[in-house]
């Protein structure tokens, strides 16, 4: 049942990203068609600007998708941890009822508390690493696109200044 809901959530997420991508592509095509007809001296290469914006949008879409997949991974792992904790708690209650003397029960409780604390810290560490990895991947994609965009702007400025001097 968890697989069905997970599959449905993933399908909905994928469908939403696909719809957004299609809408953006249509808007970009309309924008390109409209502004490609305008040819004025001194105006930067509109097609290059549109292509750059398309790349920016694709980078944002990909980064959002990576972040969403990372959030899903964290949520899935968190659910697994909670299920394991419930199983452990059931076993703990059973083991505490089998201990007879108060001293043995206190020692057993101390051991169980220590074990539970260590598991909780390890689980928090694991979840934080998963979040950090997903966010790091998303930021890396955006950073790469930003550097590419700066290079594209430099190229456009160079082309624009060269065409202005040739007029």
> Over the stretch 35-91, which tens digit does the pLDDT of each residue have?
566 554 555 667 777 888 889 889 999 999 999 999 999 999 999 999 999 998 888
Range with the largest mean pLDDT of 13-22, 40-49, 93-102: 93-102
Q: What is the pTM of this model?
A: 0.61
Q: Which two tokens stand for residue 109?
A: 């409780």
Write out the residue range of the structural domain in which residue 49 sits: 2-165
Average pLDDT rounded to a whole number, residues 145-152? 90
Residue 94, C-beta contacts closer than 8 angstroms, at least 6 positions apart: none
Q: What integer pLDDT is reported at residue 164 of this predicted model?
A: 60
| Domain count within the chain | 1
- Asked whether the predicted pLDDT for residue 3 surpasses 70, the reply is no
Question: Torsion angle of alpha carbons 56, 162, 30, 23, nearest 10°?
Answer: 0
């Amino acid at each position: 049942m968890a697989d069905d809901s997970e599959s449905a959530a993933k399908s909905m997420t994928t469908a939403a990203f696909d719809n957004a991508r299609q809408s953006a592509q249509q808007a970009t095509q309309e924008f390109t068609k409209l502004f490609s007809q305008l040819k004025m001296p001194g105006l930067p290469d509109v097609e290059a600007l549109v292509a750059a914006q398309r790349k920016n949008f694709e980078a944002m879409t990909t980064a959002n998708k990576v972040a969403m997949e990372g959030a899903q991974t964290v949520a899935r792992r968190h659910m697994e941890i909670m299920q394991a904790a419930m199983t452990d708690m059931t076993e703990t209650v059973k083991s505490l009822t089998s201990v007879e003397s108060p001293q043995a029960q206190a020692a057993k409780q101390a051991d169980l508390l220590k074990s539970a604390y260590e598991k909780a810290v390890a689980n928090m560490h694991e979840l934080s690493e998963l979040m950090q990895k997903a966010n790091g991947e998303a930021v890396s994609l955006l950073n790469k696109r930003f550097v590419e965009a700066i290079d594209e702007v430099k190229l456009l400025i160079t082309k624009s200044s060269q065409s202005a001097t040739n007029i």
